[in-house]
Every structure is written in structure tokens, then in C-alpha cells.
Amino acid sequence: MAKLRLFANLREIAGTSRVDVPSDTVGGVIEAASEKFGPEFRRGVATARVWINGETAAMDDRVDAEDEVVLIPPVSGGGQPLTVSNVDLAGFLPLAIAAVAVLANTQGQEIWSAALVAIASVWAIDLGSVLAARQKEFATLAVIVTATGSAMAAHVIGGAGYALAVAIAVAVSLGWAVAFPQYRQVDVYSPTLMVSLFVGLGTSSLLLARSAHSPEPSAVDVFLVSVIAGLLLGALVERLPALPLLDAYSVTAIGAILGALGAALIWDLDLVGYLLVGLGLAVALVAGRGFSSMLRTGRVALTQRPPGMLISLDGVVLGAAIYYPLVLLIF
């Protein structure tokens, strides 16, 4: 009988964080738990890291009643000391995407547009893989088509393209449901439409915020600084041991506000205006965690980190969707 400790989505599937499992090897413990908690748990275990008493484990390692086997899904956060050996490489993917966005922002509008569509596509693929693991249908390609169409609309017709993005999202999602019967159920169509709306509005919004239609030429620069600062600080707090009076949500919000103010100071912009912009982005980033939990796990559980490699982009997409109208309203 060995102790098994679970984190993130595995803990949610099992409904407990600790369980005693009868077996004398690590592999036997994992197999017994997989049989007990079902196929979804088994799929989650396939990508999890395995530890025994704080050390990397092999399947044939022996265990007894005093040993603790730990399963940590990719980018689960917490549960072990932060060292190079136990940080999953997938955790660096959001940083790579941030680097791509910053680099693309220094290029022409066509490159910026292509980068936004590519980032939206990768995010949609990540969502689709998480939902597939839950045996849920999701029209990933419809979201990608919406992102592409919305970018083209904003690029060609300007500000009206933001409103047209809503029509594109509805038309593409409805068309997909008509063309493919597996996407006609409400529990499939609704998430596809919701994600398509956010992606379409977010893509067109960030394109317009950097175009001649924007009242602030540096609006996208401030957006990137604000969201990257907020997400980096929030991720750092989430991975550190518990700190008094600090949590990932409040630190993310404060980081976004300070990032917007810092960018405004660097580029000599309107401090009051960008304070309000930072507040708006802070709300979007924090709300994105609830949106992420609902979409990726089927329920709102803010104390648990949802599965997926790009959950940090959930709040960014919400922030992007409101950004252009927010800039127009403030400036």
C-alpha cells in the first residue's frame, strides 16, 4: 500500500488529492489508480511526470507504505520546488509566443496580421486538444477560419471590420454545424461560437489598434508590455511557495496595471488614460482564469490550474477582444 498524491486536472478527475493504492511498484500504483479513476485519468497520466519521495521515479521502482508517489501534469505549477529538472519545457511555450508577438509588432501590418492569426490558431489547437482529452468535440478549424477572416476584414475595411468579426464568427460556426453533423449539438456549437467570437474580436482589435484607425499609435506596444508583465509576475507567484497577502490573481492584475503605466512613462504617453487601459486589461486577465477553467474543465474552479499548455493566453484573448473599443473610449 503506497500513497499517491495528485495535482491539477488529475486531482479534479479523481476528486481527491491523496489516495492509498495497493501495489509494490510505481508502475503498479499508477495502473491501479488508472483502473480506479477511468479513461480520462489514464490519458492525463500519460503526459504526467512521476516522482517518488521528491525524486524522479521509474515504473519498476519499489514502493512501500512509507513512500509517496506524485503525479504532476505538464505545467501543473506548485507541488515541488522550482528547479530546472522539474519545469516542463511546455511552460516556455507562452514565452516563445510572447517573443513572436513582440518581434512581429516591429514589422509591417501584414506580418503583424499573420502573427496574430498564427497565435490564435495555436491557442485554438491547444483548446481543442484539451477538450478532446475530455472526449468533447470542438471545431478548431472553424476558429482558425474565423481568425483569418476577421484579420482580413479589419485589414481591408478598417473599423467596421471589428463589428464584422462578430458576423464572421457566427456565420462560420453555424456553417460548420450545418456542414458537419458532429458539431450540431448545443454543447459543441456553443463553445465553438464563444471561442470564435473572442478570437475574431481579438484579432481584429489588435490589428486596428496598430492601424491608422487607432487614436494612439503606441497602443499595441502598451498592450504587449502590460499583459506580459502581468502574466510573468502572476506565473512567478503561482510557482513560488505560498506568500502572505499575495496570490496569482492579484499579482497578475497589479502587474498589468504597472506594465501599462511603465510603458506610458517610457513612451511619454497619457498616464491617466493608460492607467484606465491597464485596469481594463487587469480585469480581462483575471476573468480569463475563470473563462479558462469553465472551458477547459467544464466548471469554474479558480483554485485549480486548468490543463493545457497555453492557459495564459485565455485572459490575453479576452483582453485583446476589448482592447480596441477600450482605447477608442478612453482616448
DSSP tag of 310: -
Whole-number pLDDT of residue 307: 73
CA distance 299 to 29: 28
Please, are residues 123 and 143 in contact by the beta-carbon 8 Å criterion?
Answer: no
CA distance 308 to 311: 6
CA distance 76 to 88: 9
Please, are residues 67 and 36 in contact by the beta-carbon 8 Å criterion?
Answer: no
Q: Nearest Cα to 227, choosing from 256, 267, 257, 266?
A: 256
Grouped pLDDT means (10 residues each) for the chain, 331 residues: 82 85 88 89 85 79 85 55 41 84 94 96 90 80 96 94 95 92 85 94 96 92 96 81 69 94 94 95 88 73 69 91 95 91
* pTM as predicted: 0.73
Other C-beta atoms lying within 10 Å of the C-beta of residue 232: 18
Q: Phi then psi for 51, rounded to 5 degrees?
A: -125, 150
Whole-number pLDDT of residue 81: 37
3-state SS class at 304:
coil
Q: Nearest Cα to 129, choosing from 303, 311, 312, 317?
A: 311
Give residue for cell 486596428. 208
CA distance 27 to 249: 37
Whole-number pLDDT of residue 76: 40
Give the domains, in start order, of the chain with CATH numbers: 2-87 (3.10.20.30), 90-330 (no CATH)
225 contacts: CB under 8 Å, gap ≥ 6: 259, 260, 262, 263
Complete DSSP assignment for 133-180: HTT----HHHHHHHHHHHHHHHHHHTTHHHHHHHHHHHHHHHHHHHH-
CA distance 267 to 222: 9
CA atoms within 13 A on the CB side of 82: 13
Rg (CA), the chain: 22
